[in-house]
């Protein structure tokens, strides 16, 4: 598995997993939707790192780009547009130690990725090439891929306001 | 400890918390965030399965699940915004019947 020591991968996965569970726990316990959105973003970033540690940099890239990018922007905009019953930011009380811990770990992960990134990408198993993934998606699962494409098109239509709503 | 233990422990815990959010919380937005959490946990286990067994089909399923989850989030959020615009609170305690 590449040049990276397996123990290092395991302990990085443990740290990332503990952080993901901690932020997910905050999502469960905190009332504010803003805090829940920020914590979901943190969990999604941690799962992206787990994908990378499992040896799938392509899926990690897709996950972070789609979830942590597009979907989270939609969620935050929806929370802002829907608002809450009280003041919009009145219940925004993020646990400060957890926020500093999350920021610290995010910076450490960034430094780790910048320094050890090439080692992580070499940990990709040889049998799981992106070309093989493309072959599975567009040959064996071509019908499912087309169905998902159609579903995404219909979902895009859902955000277009009709004349009555406008 | 190996990678499989760490990944499965994380997956189980995150999925359980996501399920608890869907069951316990009453706000539709929070329930949607819980669903996203559950889908992310399932994706982690699928990616690890793909790496363990050199299974490209599992990775293909992960890509499809990511796309379906994105579409689900778009539809769910637009429905919640439509409810809010109609003056209905996005709360499961007040949404007891389906009506056009």
Instruction: pLDDT tens for chain B, 100 residues: list them.
Output: 788 899 999 999 999 999 999 999 888 889 999 999 999 999 999 999 988 888 888 888 999 999 998 888 888 888 888 888 777 777 777 777 666 5
- Whole-number Å distance between alpha carbons of B40 and B45: 9
* Closest CB from A27, A141, A156 relative to B33: A27
Query: In the 8-state DSSP scheme, what is residue B97?
Result: S
Query: CB B73 to CB A74 under 8 A?
Result: yes
Report pLDDT for A88.
47
What is the C-alpha to C-alpha distance for residues B61 and B93, in angstroms, rounded to an integer? 35
| CA–CA distance, A53 with A34 (Å, rounded to integer) | 29
Q: Which of B29, B45, B90 to mutate to test the interface with A (most CBs of A within 10 A)?
A: B29
The pTM of this model reads 0.81
B21: nearest CA partner in chain A: A28
Indicate yes or no: CB of A27 within 8 angstroms of CB of B21: yes
Residue of higher predicted confidence among A131 and A11: A11
Please tell me which of the candidates B36, B51, B90 has its beta carbon nearest to residue A125.
B51
Provide the percentage of residues in chain A whose pLDDT is more than 90. Answer: 8
The radius of gyration of chain B from alpha carbons, rounded to an integer in Å, stands at 17
Nearest-Cα distance to chain A for B42, in Å, is 10
Q: What residues of B are in contact with residue A158 (Cβ under 8 Å)?
A: 74-75, 78-79
What ipTM, to 2 d.p.?
0.89
Q: How many CB pairs under 8 A join A and B?
A: 183
Cα–Cα separations (whole angstroms), residue B90 to A36, A51, A88, A95, A162: 16, 34, 15, 26, 20
CB contact under 8 A, B17 and A125: no
Could you tell me the pLDDT band of residue A165, with boundaries at 50, 70 and 90? low
What lies within 8 Å, CB to CB, of B9 at 6+ separation is A17
Q: What is residue A138's predicted lDDT score, i.e. its pLDDT?
A: 86
């Amino acid at each position: 598995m590449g040049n990276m020591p397996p123990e290092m991968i395991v302990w990085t996965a443990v740290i990332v997993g503990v952080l993901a569970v901690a932020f997910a726990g905050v999502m469960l316990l905190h009332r504010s939707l803003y805090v829940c959105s920020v914590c979901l973003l943190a969990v999604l970033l941690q799962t992206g790192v787990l994908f990378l540690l499992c040896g799938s940099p392509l899926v990690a890239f897709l996950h972070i780009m789609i979830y942590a990018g597009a979907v989270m922007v939609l969620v935050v905009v929806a929370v802002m547009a829907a608002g809450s019953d009280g003041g919009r930011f009145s219940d925004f009380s993020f646990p400060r130690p957890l926020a500093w811990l999350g920021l610290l770990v995010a910076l450490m992960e960034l430094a780790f990725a910048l320094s050890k990134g090439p080692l992580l990408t070499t940990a990709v198993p040889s049998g799981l090439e992106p070309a093989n993934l493309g072959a599975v998606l567009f040959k064996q699962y071509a019908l499912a891929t087309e169905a998902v494409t159609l579903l995404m098109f219909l979902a895009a239509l859902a955000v277009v306001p009709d004349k009555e709503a406008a | 400890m190996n990678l499989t233990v760490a990944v499965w422990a994380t997956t189980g815990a995150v999925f359980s918390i996501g399920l608890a959010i869907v069951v316990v919380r009453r706000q539709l937005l929070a329930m949607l965030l819980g669903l996203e959490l559950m889908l992310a946990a399932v994706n982690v286990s699928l990616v690890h399965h793909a790496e363990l067994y050199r299974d490209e089909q599992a990775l293909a399923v992960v890509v499809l699940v990511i796309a379906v989850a994105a579409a689900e989030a778009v539809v769910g959020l637009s429905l919640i915004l439509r409810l809010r615009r109609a003056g209905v609170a996005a709360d499961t305690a007040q949404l007891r019947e389906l009506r056009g």
